[in-house]
C-alpha cells in the first residue's frame, strides 16, 4: 500500500502550489517540497526489504478489459531512479525558489514541475506496460508546459512544440510497440513480460516491436536521429533544463531500455542497433558541444553525448556493461545537474550565457568557480571524481565486448575519441568562463549568488567527489540493488579507483592529454568548421511543419470550398461508391421468398407515387406546383402505410403531411416563387446520373431485403406487450414503454427544433410580396366566411377526436404523437381561418412552455420509477373499476404519452404560429419599427 | 408486388436526391421531404410487407411487424421538425443574404426575381 502512496503523493502534490501560492513564495516552496520529501522518505524506508532481495509490488484493477491495472513495483532500478527524481527534484525546487524572478507565476511553475516529477515516478514504478506508457505521455505533456513556460518568447514556444512533436510521436510508436509486446506475451503485467524473453525473441513480430519500442526510447533520450529537439528545449528556464533535460526525463528512454532489457535485449539486432546508435550519438554530441558558444548549448550537446554513452553500454549488454550504464546514470545526473545549475547561476548573476561575453569570473565568484570546475572535471573523466570511474568502466567494456568481430577495435577507438572530445569541451567550458580574461564586461556586475541557491550545487559536487574517492563504500549497495533488478541475479563486482596500469587507464590518460591539446588548438578547428555552414534543426522542423499545414489547408480548401452543392455531390458520390461495393458482394439480388400478387389498386397507387415524385422534379422551378405534386406523394405514402397494415403510421403521416404543407406554403410566401434556371446542362446531366444511380441502389437494396426471409426481434414485443406493457397496440407500447427512452430523446429533439426556429425567426426581416408569382394581387377577402364558420365548428370536434385518439392509443391505433398532431392541425385551422391577430387575442399564451413542459412531464414520469426502486422509465399499470363506466386501465405509460402529446402540440404550434406571426405586426421582434427597408422596393 | 414497391422507393429517392443537388434552398427542402418519404417507406418495408395483418393483439392472426412501424412513426415526426428547421433556415438566409442560394453567398437578386 505504501507503494501506491509513493506514486500518489507527488501527484497530489500538484495541487499544493495552487493552494498555497497566495501565502507567499517561501511558504509555497516549503509546502510544495513536503509531499515529494515524504515520498522520498517512504522510498528509503523500503531499502532494507529490497536489500533482502524482495521486489515489492502492488496492484489494483483499473480497466481490466484493456489489461490496464494500477500496478506499481519497487525494485532496485525503481529505487535508483526514484532517488534521482525525488532527490534532485527537491534540490531543483530549492534552486528554482531563488532562480525565478519575483514577478513570475511561481505557483504555476511548481505545479508543472511537480506534475513532471509525479509522471517520472510513475514511469519508473509502473508494473504494467500500459500504465508505464500513460505516465510516459504525461512526461511529454508536462515537459511541453515547462519548456514553454516563458510563453512570450518565440524560442520557448517553438522549442516546446518541437519537443512535444518528437517525443509525442515517439510515444505513439512506443504505444504500438508495447501493445505488440503485450500481445506476444499475452499480458501487460511487467513480471510476466520480463519472464517471457524466449517467447518474445521467437516471435516473428519481434523486429517490428523492437523497432517501435526503440523509436520511443530514442526520441525521449535524444539519440540520433532524433537528437535535434534537446538543444532547442534549452529555451526552458534553467531549473527545467537541469532537471528534465539532463537528470531525469531524457533518462526515461534509457530507463525503458534498462527495464525491458531482460525481455527484449537478447538478440544481435538489439546489440548492433543500440550500440551503434549510442556510439554515433556520443561522438555527434561531443563534437557539437565543442563548437557551441552558448553555455547551455554546450551542456545540452554534452548531455546528448553522455546519453549516447549510456545507450551504447546498454547495447553492449554484458552484466558489467549494465553496471557501468547504471553507474553512469547517477554520475551523469550529479555532475550535469551541478553544471546546469552553475550555468543558471552565471546567467542569473551576469545576464549572459555567451562564452564570448564571459571570462575572468574566477575573481567575482570563486566558490562557484571551484564547484563548476570540479563538476566539469568529473564530466571530463579526471581521476578521483565519479565520472572517471564510470568512464573507465565504459572503456573496459568496449575493449572486452565481442561485438562486430574483426571490426571490434572500432568501439574502443570511438570511445577514446569521445573521451578526447569531452575533455576538450569540459576544459573549454571552465576556462572560457572563469580563467580566460574577459573581452568585455558582462551586462550585470557579477557576484556570488545567495547562499541557499548555491547549496544544491554544493551538495551535488560533494557527491561527485565523495563517490569518486570512496566508490566502494558509497555506491556499491545501491548499484548492487539496481543491477540485480535488471540482471535478475547478484553480480560480483568491486568498484575501485585503481585497477593497475591497464588498457582503459591508458585510454583515459591519452584522452586527457589529447583533449587538452585539442582545446589548445580548437580555434583553428572552429575556423575550419565554420566554412561548412550549419543547418539549424529548428528551421528545418518549422519549415516542414509549415509545409504540412499549408498542404492540409490546400486540401481542405479543395474539399471544403463553401459550396453546399459540392458537399452534397461529394457526399452522395461516396455513398454511391460504398453502397455499390456492398451490393457487389451479394451473390444474387433476389432472395428465396416468392413475390406477392399485384392488384389494380397497388399499381394505381404506385403510378400515382411515381407521377407525384417525377412531377415534383419536373415542375421544381414553379415552386407552388411542385409543392402540390409533393403533397400528392405524401398522401399516397400515407395510403401505402394503411394498405400494409400500419394504421398508426397512416394517421401520423396524414397529419404531418397537413402540417408540412401549411408550413411550406407559408414559407413559400416569403421566398421567390420561381427558381431561376442556372444549372448548366452538364451539371444537370451529372446530377441526374448521380441521383438515378443512387435511386437504383436504393431500389436494389430494398428489393434484396424484401425478397429474403427476415428474422425479426419483434416476437419479443408481441409476446410481452400485454403482460409487460399492459397495451394491445404494440406500436404504441414500443413507443411509450419498451423504447420509451428513444421517444424521450425524440420529443426533446422536437422541442429543441421548435426553440431553434423560434430564435431564428427573431428579428427576421423579410420582403412580403403583395402579389403572387404571376403578378396577381392577393384576394382582398382574407378570411373567407365559409372557412371561418366551419373552423369554429370543427375546433371542439377536432379536440374531442384528439382526446379520443389519445386515450385509446394504448390499445387501439392512436397515441400521443397522433393526438398531438390532430390538435395542432385543428388550432392551425383556426389561425388560418381567423388570422393570427384574432387567434392571438383568444389564445394568449406562448407555446414554448407547453413544449418544454411536455418533455418535462415525460422525463419526470421516467424519473418517477426511481422512487419505487426501478430503473428509469419502468412503467406500471393496473385495472380499475368505476361504477357506470366499467373496468378501465391506467398505466404510467399514459402519463408519458401525455408528455409526448404536449411536446408535439407545443413544438408544432411554436413553429407554425411563430412563422404566421411574421406576417403580422406581432412578429417576434424587439424592433418597434415594423417596416423593413426592403418592403419599399 | 415487392419489385414494384422497391422500384417506387428507388424513384422517390432518386427524385428527392436530384432536388437536394439544386442550388436554391426551396427545391432542396422539397427534395429533403421527398427523400424522407422514400427513406420512411424503405425503413417501413424492412419488416416485410404485410397485407391484411392484425394491428391489435387479439390472440390470433398474422401480425404486421410493429418495430419498424414504431421507428418510422417517430421518424415521420422528426422529419417534420427537420424540414421545418431547414425551411426556416432558408428564410433566414434569404433575409440576411438577400438571396436564396444554398451556398450562402452575399448577392442581390435581380429585380424580376423579387416580384
What is the per-residue DSSP string for A701-717?
A: HHHHHHTS----THHHH
Is residue A277 over pLDDT 80?
A: yes
Chain B: nearest CA to A736, how far in angstroms? 10
Residue pointed to by grid coordinates 531543483:
A92
Q: Is B107 on the interface with A (CB under 8 A)?
A: no
- Please say whether the beta carbons of A146 and A113 come within 8 A: yes
Q: Which helix (H) or strand (E) holds A62?
A: strand A56-63
The interface residues of chain A toward chain B in range 535-564, judged by CB-CB distance below 8 A, are 562-564
Could you say which DSSP state residue A595 is in?
Answer: P
- Please say whether the beta carbons of B73 and A734 come within 8 A: no
B1 closest CB neighbour out of A598, A687, A908: A598
Is residue A594 over pLDDT 70?
A: yes
Q: Which of A387, A389, A381, A376 is nearest to A416 (CA)?
A: A381
- Put simply, the answer to whether B44 touches A641 (Cβ < 8 Å) is yes
A892-917 and A740-761 helices, crossing angle to 10°: 20
- pLDDT: which is higher, A195 or A836: A195
A695 closest CB neighbour out of B11, B73, B81: B11
Q: Helix H segments across A351-475?
A: 361-364, 366-380, 386-400, 410-430, 451-469, 471-474
Q: Which of B1, B9, B7 is nearest to B40 (CA)?
A: B9
Task: Report the C-alpha gap between A288 and A544 in whole angstroms.
Answer: 23
Q: Is A634 on the interface with B (CB under 8 A)?
A: yes
Q: What is the dihedral of CA A334, A336, A337, A339, to 10 degrees?
A: 120
- Put simply, the answer to whether B30 touches A616 (Cβ < 8 Å) is yes
- Mutation target to probe the B interface, by most B beta carbons within 10 A, among A625, A730, A764 is A730
Partners of residue B74 in chain A, C-beta under 8 Å: 735, 742-743, 746, 817
Is residue A925 over pLDDT 70?
A: no
Chain B: nearest CA to A569, how far in angstroms? 7
Task: Report the C-alpha gap between A249 and A136 in whole angstroms.
Answer: 9
- Please say whether the beta carbons of A146 and A244 come within 8 A: yes
What residue in B sits closest to A637 (Cα-Cα)? Answer: B37
Grid cell digits, residue A654: 396524414
What residue in A sits closest to B62 (Cα-Cα)? Answer: A645
Q: Is B112 on the interface with A (CB under 8 A)?
A: no
Q: Is B35 on the interface with A (CB under 8 A)?
A: no
Residue A736 burial (C-beta neighbours within 10 Å; 0-12, 13-18, 19+): buried
Partners of residue A705 in chain B, C-beta under 8 Å: 45-46
Give per-residue pLDDT as tens, A868-919: 777 777 777 776 666 665 666 677 778 888 999 999 999 998 888 888 887 7
Partners of residue B55 in chain A, C-beta under 8 Å: 645-648, 729, 731, 813
Task: Report the C-alpha gap between A802 and A824 in whole angstroms.
Answer: 10
Cα-Cα end-to-end distance for chain A: 82
Partners of residue B42 in chain A, C-beta under 8 Å: 698, 701-702
Partners of residue B69 in chain A, C-beta under 8 Å: 646, 648-649, 731
What residue in B sits closest to A821 (Cα-Cα)? Answer: B77
Q: Is B86 on the interface with A (CB under 8 A)?
A: no
The interface residues of chain A toward chain B in range 865-904, judged by CB-CB distance below 8 A, are 904
CA B40 to chain centre: 8
CA B6 to chain centre: 17
- Put simply, the answer to whether A735 touches B48 (Cβ < 8 Å) is no
For the structural domain made of B2-48+65-105, what CATH number should be given? 1.10.287.3510
Going by pLDDT thresholds of 50, 70 and 90, the confidence category of residue B115 is very low
Q: What is the pLDDT of residue A887?
A: 61
Mean pLDDT for B77-89 is: 91
Partners of residue A647 in chain B, C-beta under 8 Å: 55
- With H, G, I as helix, E, B as strand and everything else as coil, classify residue A136: helix
Q: What is the pLDDT of residue A494?
A: 82
What residue in B sits closest to A567 (Cα-Cα)? Answer: B21
Going by pLDDT thresholds of 50, 70 and 90, the confidence category of residue A448 is confident
CA A575 to chain centre: 29
- Put simply, the answer to whether B25 touches A811 (Cβ < 8 Å) is no
B91 closest CB neighbour out of A667, A694, A695: A667
CA A198 to chain centre: 36
Chain A: nearest CA to B60, how far in angstroms? 12
- Please say whether the beta carbons of A643 and A602 come within 8 A: yes
Q: How many residues does chain B have?
A: 115
Q: What is the pLDDT of residue A880?
A: 67
- Please say whether the beta carbons of A227 and A296 come within 8 A: no
- Put simply, the answer to whether B77 touches A694 (Cβ < 8 Å) is no
- Put simply, the answer to whether A633 touches B37 (Cβ < 8 Å) is yes
Going by pLDDT thresholds of 50, 70 and 90, the confidence category of residue A595 is confident
Q: Is B61 on the interface with A (CB under 8 A)?
A: no
Task: Report the C-alpha gap between A835 and A840 in whole angstroms.
Answer: 8
- Please say whether the beta carbons of A90 and A33 come within 8 A: yes
| Overall pTM > 0.80 | no
Mean pLDDT across chain A: 87
B6 closest CB neighbour out of A616, A647, A699: A699
Mean pLDDT for A197-206 is: 91
Three-class DSSP labels, A836-864: HHHHHHHCCCCCHHHHHHHHHHHHHHHHH
- Put simply, the answer to whether B77 touches A765 (Cβ < 8 Å) is no
Is residue A591 over pLDDT 90?
A: no
Number of H helices, E strands in chain B: 4, 0
How far is CA B71 from each of CA A728, A907, B42, rounded to the nearest angstrom? 18, 20, 12
Q: What is the pLDDT of residue B111?
A: 42
- Put simply, the answer to whether A757 touches B84 (Cβ < 8 Å) is yes
Residue A429: how many other CB atoms lie within 10 Å? 27
- Put simply, the answer to whether A714 touches B66 (Cβ < 8 Å) is yes
What residue in B sits closest to A808 (Cα-Cα)? Answer: B56
- Put simply, the answer to whether A652 touches B77 (Cβ < 8 Å) is yes
Mean pLDDT for A177-188 is: 92
Mean pLDDT for A516-523 is: 85
Q: DSSP for A706-765?
A: HTS----THHHHHHHIIIII--SBHHHHIIIIITHHHHHHHHHHHHHHHHHHHHHHTT--
Using a pLDDT cut of 70, give the percent of chain A over it.
Answer: 96
Could you say which DSSP state residue B48 is in?
Answer: -
Query: With the C-alpha atoms ordered B107, B109, B111, B115, is the resulting torsion angle positive or negative?
Result: negative
Task: Report the C-alpha gap between A148 and A539 in whole angstroms.
Answer: 18
A633 closest CB neighbour out of B34, B50, B55: B34
Give per-residue pLDDT as tens, A702-747: 999 888 887 778 888 888 888 877 778 888 888 888 888 888 999 9
- Put simply, the answer to whether B73 touches A703 (Cβ < 8 Å) is no
Grid cell digits, residue A570: 461529394
Q: Which of A73, A174, A167 is nearest to A126 (CA)?
A: A73
Please list, in sequence order, all residues whose beta carbon lies within 8 angstroms of the beta carbon of residue A24, skipping any fewer than 6 positions away.
Answer: none
Q: What is the pLDDT of residue B114?
A: 43
As for the ipTM of the complex, it is 0.92
Chain B: nearest CA to A773, how far in angstroms? 7
Give per-residue pLDDT as tens, A152-170: 888 888 889 889 999 999 9
Task: Report the C-alpha gap between A905 and A747 in whole angstroms.
Answer: 11
Q: How many residues does chain A have?
A: 937
- Put simply, the answer to whether B51 touches A643 (Cβ < 8 Å) is yes
- Put simply, the answer to whether B19 touches A620 (Cβ < 8 Å) is yes
Partners of residue B16 in chain A, C-beta under 8 Å: 613
Strands A886-891 and A877-882: antiparallel
- Please say whether the beta carbons of A328 and A313 come within 8 A: yes
- Put simply, the answer to whether B70 touches A616 (Cβ < 8 Å) is no
Q: DSSP for B31-54?
A: HHHHHHHHHHHHHHGGG---SS-B
How far is CA A717 from each of CA A116, A649, A651, rounded to the nearest angstrom? 56, 18, 22
Chain B: nearest CA to A205, how far in angstroms? 46
Task: Report the C-alpha gap between B49 and B26 in whole angstroms.
Answer: 33
A648 closest CB neighbour out of B42, B63, B73: B73
Mean pLDDT for A502-524 is: 87
Q: What is the dihedral of CA A745, A746, A748, A751, to 10 degrees?
A: 180
- pLDDT: which is higher, A487 or A679: A487
Q: What is the pLDDT of residue A533?
A: 66
- Please say whether the beta carbons of A628 and B28 come within 8 A: no
Q: What is the pLDDT of residue A105?
A: 86
Task: Report the C-alpha gap between A374 and A376 in whole angstroms.
Answer: 5
Q: Which of A157, A307, A321 is nearest to A246 (CA)?
A: A307
The interface residues of chain A toward chain B in range 687-726, judged by CB-CB distance below 8 A, are 687-688, 690-692, 694-703, 705-707, 710, 712-714, 717-718, 721-722
A595 closest CB neighbour out of B1, B56, B113: B1
Q: What is the pLDDT of residue B108?
A: 57
Q: What is the pLDDT of residue A785?
A: 83
Give per-residue pLDDT as tens, A306-351: 999 999 999 998 889 999 999 999 999 999 999 999 999 988 888 8
Going by pLDDT thresholds of 50, 70 and 90, the confidence category of residue A929 is very low
- With H, G, I as helix, E, B as strand and everything else as coil, classify residue A157: helix
What residue in A sits closest to B20 (Cα-Cα)? Answer: A568
CB pairs under 8 A between A and B: 314
Please list, in sequence order, all residues whose beta carbon lies within 8 angstroms of the beta carbon of residue A830, skipping any fewer than 6 positions away.
Answer: A791, A792, A795, A839, A843
Give per-residue pLDDT as tens, B37-62: 999 999 999 888 888 877 777 766 67
Partners of residue A749 in chain B, C-beta under 8 Å: 78, 81
- Put simply, the answer to whether A645 touches B18 (Cβ < 8 Å) is no
Residue pointed to by grid coordinates 400515382:
A608
Three-class DSSP labels, A245-271: HHHCHHHHHHHHHHHCHHHHCCCHHHH
Q: Is B93 on the interface with A (CB under 8 A)?
A: no
Q: Is B36 on the interface with A (CB under 8 A)?
A: no
Residue pointed to by grid coordinates 519508473:
A124
Q: Which of A903, A904, A907 is nearest to A855 (CA)?
A: A903
Is residue A930 over pLDDT 60?
A: no
A154-185 and A129-147 helices, crossing angle to 10°: 180
- Please say whether the beta carbons of A649 and B76 come within 8 A: yes
- With H, G, I as helix, E, B as strand and everything else as coil, classify residue A509: helix
Delimit the domains of chain B by residue range: 2-48+65-105
Mean pLDDT for A633-655 is: 92
Query: Beta partners for A877?
Result: A891
Task: Report the C-alpha gap between A715 and A721 in whole angstroms.
Answer: 10
Task: Report the C-alpha gap between A218 and A270 in whole angstroms.
Answer: 13
- Please say whether the beta carbons of A252 and A139 come within 8 A: yes
Amino acid at each position: 500500500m505504501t507503494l501506491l502512496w509513493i506514486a500518489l503523493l507527488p501527484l497530489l502534490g500538484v495541487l499544493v502550489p495552487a493552494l498555497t501560492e497566495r501565502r507567499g513564495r517561501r511558504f509555497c516552496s516549503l509546502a510544495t517540497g513536503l509531499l515529494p520529501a515524504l515520498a522520498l522518505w517512504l522510498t528509503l524506508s523500503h531499502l532494507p526489504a529490497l536489500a533482502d532481495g524482495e521486489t515489492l509490488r502492488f496492484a489494483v484493477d483499473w480497466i481490466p478489459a484493456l489489461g490496464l491495472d494500477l500496478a506499481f513495483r519497487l525494485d532496485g532500478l525503481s529505487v535508483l531512479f526514484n532517488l534521482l527524481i525525488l532527490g534532485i527534484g527537491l534540490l531543483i525546487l530549492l534552486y528554482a525558489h531563488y532562480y525565478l524572478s519575483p514577478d513570475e507565476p511561481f505557483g504555476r511553475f511548481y505545479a508543472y514541475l511537480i506534475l513532471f516529477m509525479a509522471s517520472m515516478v510513475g514511469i519508473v514504478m509502473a508494473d504494467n506496460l500500459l500504465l508505464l506508457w500513460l505516465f510516459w505521455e504525461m512526461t511529454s505533456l508536462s515537459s511541453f508546459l515547462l519548456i514553454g513556460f516563458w510563453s512570450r518568447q518565440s524560442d520557448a514556444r517553438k522549442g516546446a512544440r518541437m519537443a512535444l512533436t518528437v517525443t509525442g510521436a515517439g510515444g505513439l510508436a512506443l504505444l504500438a510497440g508495447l501493445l505488440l509486446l503485450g500481445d506476444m506475451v499475452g499480458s501487460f503485467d511487467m513480471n510476466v513480460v520480463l519472464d517471457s524473453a524466449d517467447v518474445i525473441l521467437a516471435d516473428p513480430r519481434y523486429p517490428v516491436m523492437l523497432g517501435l519500442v526503440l523509436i520511443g526510447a530514442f526520441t525521449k533520450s535524444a539519440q540520433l536521429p532524433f537528437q535535434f529537439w534537446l538543444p532547442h528545449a534549452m529555451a526552458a528556464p534553467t531549473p527545467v533544463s537541469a532537471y528534465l533535460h539532463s537528470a531525469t526525463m531524457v533518462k526515461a528512454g534509457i530507463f525503458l531500455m534498462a527495464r525491458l532489457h531482460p525481455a527484449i535485449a537478447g538478440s544481435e539486432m538489439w546489440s548492433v542497433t543500440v550500440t551503434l546508435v549510442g556510439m554515433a550519438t556520443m561522438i555527434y554530441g561531443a563534437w557539437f558541444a565543442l563548437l557551441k558558444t552558448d553555455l547551455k548549448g554546450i551542456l545540452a550537446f554534452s548531455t546528448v553525448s553522455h546519453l549516447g554513452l549510456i545507450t551504447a553500454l546498454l547495447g553492449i549488454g554484458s552484466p558489467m556493461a549494465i553496471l557501468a550504464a547504471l553507474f553512469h546514470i547517477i554520475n551523469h545526473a550529479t555532475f550535469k545537474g551541478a553544471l546546469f545549475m552553475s550555468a543558471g547561476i552565471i546567467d542569473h548573476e551576469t545576464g549572459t550565457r555567451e562564452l564570448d561575453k564571459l571570462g575572468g569570473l574566477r575573481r567575482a565568484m570563486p566558490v562557484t568557480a571551484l564547484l563548476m570546475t570540479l563538476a566539469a572535471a568529473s564530466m571530463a573523466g579526471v581521476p578521483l571524481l565519479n565520472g572517471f570511474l564510470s568512464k573507465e568502466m565504459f572503456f573496459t567494456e568496449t575493449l572486452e565486448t565481442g561485438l562486430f568481430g574483426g571490426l571490434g577495435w572500432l568501439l574502443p577507438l570511438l570511445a577514446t575519441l569521445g573521451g578526447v572530445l569531452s575533455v576538450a569541451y569540459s576544459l573549454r567550458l571552465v576556462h572560457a568562463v572563469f580563467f580566460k580574461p574577459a573581452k568585455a564586461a558582462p551586462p550585470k556586475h557579477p557576484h556570488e549568488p545567495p547562499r541557499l541557491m548555491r547549496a544544491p550545487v554544493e551538495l551535488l559536487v560533494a557527491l561527485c567527489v565523495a563517490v569518486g574517492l570512496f566508490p566502494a563504500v558509497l555506491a556499491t549497495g545501491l548499484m548492487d540493488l539496481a543491477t540485480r533488478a535488471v540482471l535478475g541475479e547478484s553480480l560480483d563486482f568491486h568498484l575501485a579507483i585503481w585497477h593497475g596500469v591497464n588498457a582503459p587507464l591508458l585510454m583515459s590518460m591519452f584522452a586527457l592529454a589529447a583533449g587538452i591539446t585539442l582545446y589548445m588548438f580548437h580555434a583553428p578547428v572552429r575556423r575550419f568548421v565554420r566554412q561548412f555552414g550549419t543547418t539549424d534543426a529548428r528551421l528545418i522542423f518549422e519549415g516542414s511543419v509549415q509545409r504540412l499545414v499549408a498542404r492540409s489547408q490546400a486540401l481542405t480548401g479543395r474539399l471544403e470550398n463553401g459550396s453546399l452543392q459540392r458537399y452534397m455531390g461529394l457526399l452522395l458520390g461516396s455513398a454511391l461508391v460504398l453502397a455499390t461495393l456492398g451490393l457487389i458482394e451479394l451473390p444474387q439480388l433476389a432472395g428465396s421468398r416468392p413475390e406477392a400478387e399485384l392488384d389494380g389498386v397497388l399499381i394505381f397507387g404506385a403510378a400515382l407515387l411515381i407521377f407525384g415524385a417525377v412531377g415534383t422534379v419536373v415542375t421544381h422551378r414553379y415552386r407552388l406546383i411542385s409543392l402540390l405534386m409533393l403533397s400528392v406523394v405524401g398522401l399516397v405514402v400515407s395510403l401505402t402505410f394503411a394498405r400494409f397494415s400500419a394504421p398508426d403510421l397512416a394517421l401520423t403521416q396524414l397529419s404531418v403531411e397537413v402540417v408540412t404543407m401549411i408550413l411550406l406554403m407559408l414559407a413559400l410566401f416569403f421566398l421567390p416563387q420561381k427558381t431561376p434556371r442556372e444549372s448548366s446542362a452538364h451539371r444537370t446531366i451529372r446530377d441526374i446520373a448521380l441521383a438515378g444511380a443512387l435511386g437504383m441502389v436504393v431500389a436494389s437494396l430494398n428489393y434484396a431485403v424484401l425478397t429474403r426471409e427476415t428474422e425479426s426481434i419483434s416476437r419479443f414485443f408481441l409476446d410481452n406487450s400485454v403482460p409487460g406493457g399492459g397495451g394491445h397496440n404494440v406500436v404504441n407500447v414500443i413507443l411509450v414503454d419498451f423504447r420509451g427512452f428513444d421517444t424521450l430523446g425524440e420529443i426533446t429533439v422536437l422541442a429543441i427544433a421548435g426553440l431553434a426556429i423560434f430564435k431564428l425567426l427573431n428579428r427576421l426581416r423579410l420582403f412580403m410580396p403583395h402579389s403572387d408569382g404571376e403578378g396577381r394581387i392577393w384576394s382582398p377577402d382574407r378570411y373567407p366566411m365559409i372557412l371561418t364558420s366551419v373552423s369554429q365548428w370543427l375546433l371542439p370536434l377536432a379536440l374531442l377526436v384528439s382526446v379520443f385518439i389519445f386515450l385509446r392509443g394504448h390499445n387501439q391505433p392512436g397515441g400521443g404523437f397522433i393526438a398531438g398532431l390532430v390538435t395542432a392541425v385543428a388550432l392551425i385551422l383556426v389561425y388560418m381561418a381567423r388570422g393570427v391577430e384574432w387567434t392571438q387575442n383568444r389564445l394568449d399564451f406562448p407555446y414554448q412552455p407547453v413544449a418544454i413542459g411536455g418533455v418535462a412531464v415525460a422525463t419526470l414520469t421516467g424519473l418517477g420509477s426511481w422512487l419505487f426502486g426501478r430503473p428509469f422509465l419502468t412503467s406500471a399499470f393496473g385495472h380499475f373499476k368505476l361504477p357506470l363506466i366499467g373496468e378501465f386501465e391506467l398505466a404510467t405509460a399514459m402519463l408519458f404519452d401525455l408528455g409526448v402529446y404536449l411536446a408535439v402540440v407545443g413544438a408544432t404550434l411554436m413553429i407554425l404560429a411563430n412563422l404566421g406571426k411574421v406576417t403580422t405586426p406581432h412578429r417576434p421582434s424587439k424592433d418597434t419599427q415594423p417596416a423593413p427597408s426592403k418592403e419599399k422596393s | 408486388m415487392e419489385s414494384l414497391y422497391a422500384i417506387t422507393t428507388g424513384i422517390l429517392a432518386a427524385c428527392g436526391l436530384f432536388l437536394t443537388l439544386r442550388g436554391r434552398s426551396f427545391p432542396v427542402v422539397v427534395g429533403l421531404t421527398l427523400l424522407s418519404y422514400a427513406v420512411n417507406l424503405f425503413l417501413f418495408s424492412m419488416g416485410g410487407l404485410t397485407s391484411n395483418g392484425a394491428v391489435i393483439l387479439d390472440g390470433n392472426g398474422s401480425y404486421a411487424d410493429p418495430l419498424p412501424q414504431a421507428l418510422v412513426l417517430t421518424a415521420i415526426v422528426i422529419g417534420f421538425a427537420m424540414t421545418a428547421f431547414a425551411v426556416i433556415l432558408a428564410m433566414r438566409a434569404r433575409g440576411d443574404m438577400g438571396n436564396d442560394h444554398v451556398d450562402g453567398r452575399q448577392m442581390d437578386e435581380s429585380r424580376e426575381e423579387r416580384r
